[in-house]
Amino acid sequence: MKNEIIQSVLMKLLYGAQLDCIRIYKIFLEIGFNQIGKKELPTTIWFATNNSLYVNTDIASIDRVADYYEKRATVIKDLFYLIGEEVSSVTVSEKGELSIVIGDKTLFLFREEDEFEEVWEIMDNSTSNFADHEWYITLLDDGDFELKYPEPGKN
């Protein structure tokens, strides 16, 4: 049941949002999406992770053993070319594997075996964990989800 709620909230937040910016740190990546014209949603939605990301068209063709920094360089290049494209689909598996379709590519994120921090986070308006987020979804290192979203009629 919780996975269905998370799936629904992810689609509400990201469907139709445009990829707007990328912030790159040594082991951390933040991706900003703009959701313009939907008053019930935040204007900016942030996706953050320190896990390996993959941009591909097919999940079966992903090389999960390639070097982290080589994969990251490819993903950053692909994401740069997708700036301005819209999100058409978001899915999350029971294990927290996240897929975001942007333009003609799909962004895949898997939980690493040795993960000891949040795997991914999606939040409104600020990347700070100290902000008072109305919208916040994260996959924790133990495989559980943390979820916060406004009650219907209160956003």
Q: State the greatest distance between any 2 C-alpha atoms of the chain, in Å, as a whole number.
A: 46
Give the residue from 135, 34, 12 showing the smallest Cα distance to 83: 34
Give me the domain span that covers residue 33.
2-148
154 within some domain: no
Radius of gyration of the chain (CA): 15
Q: How confident is the model at residue 155 (pLDDT cuts 50, 70, 90)?
A: very low
**Confidence label for 82 from pLDDT (cuts 50, 70 and 90):** very high
Number of domains present in the structure of the chain = 1
**pTM of structure:** 0.86
Concatenate the DSSP letters of all residues of 60-99 into one string. Answer: GG--TTS-HHHHHHHHHHHHHHHTTPBEEEEEE-TT--EE
In tens, the pLDDT along 93-151 reads 887 889 999 999 999 887 766 655 677 888 888 887 778 888 888 888 777 888 888 86
In a domain, 17, yes or no: yes
